Amino acid sequence: MTTETEIIRLTPAARGQVATLLEQRGEEGLGLRLSVSGGGCSGLGYALDFTRQEPDDHVMECEEGFRVFVDPKSLLYLRTMQVDYEGGLQGKGFTFDNPNAQNTCGCGESFSV
C-alpha cells in the first residue's frame, strides 16, 4: 500500500458528491475506487466504485474523510487526472480530464493512450 497526498485531483464538487454518496451507503471502511477497464469507444474506460482497500492500492486521503483507491495498473493511466462533478438538470455527473489520454470519445467516458 502506498499513501499519497494527491495521486488524482478531485474537485470540491466531486469530493462533495462522493462524500454524500458514501454517507448514504452508511458502510464503514468504504472508499472510492478509480480504475481503468477495457472497452468503450476509444479502447479504455473509466470505472468508479465504492469498495474497500486492497493490499497493493495507492491511497489518497481526502479532507472530507474518505479515501480514494487506485490499483497499480490503473495508476499508470490515471495519475494527475482530474475528476469533477456536474449536477443539476443538464449536469453530466462525474467528468474526467486526463492529461495522459491521447484520444477521448465524445461522451468523455473512454480514452486511449
Q: What tens digit of pLDDT does each residue of 31-49 get?
A: 999 999 876 565 788 899 9
pLDDT mean over 52-78? 93
pTM of this structure = 0.82
Cα 66 to Cα 76: distance, rounded to the nearest angstrom: 22
Domain chopping of the chain, boundaries = 2-107
The CATH code belonging to domain 2-107 is 2.60.300.12
* Cell triple for 60: 489518497
What's the rounded Cα separation, in Å, for the pair 18 and 71? 19
Tell me what pLDDT residue 45 has: 84
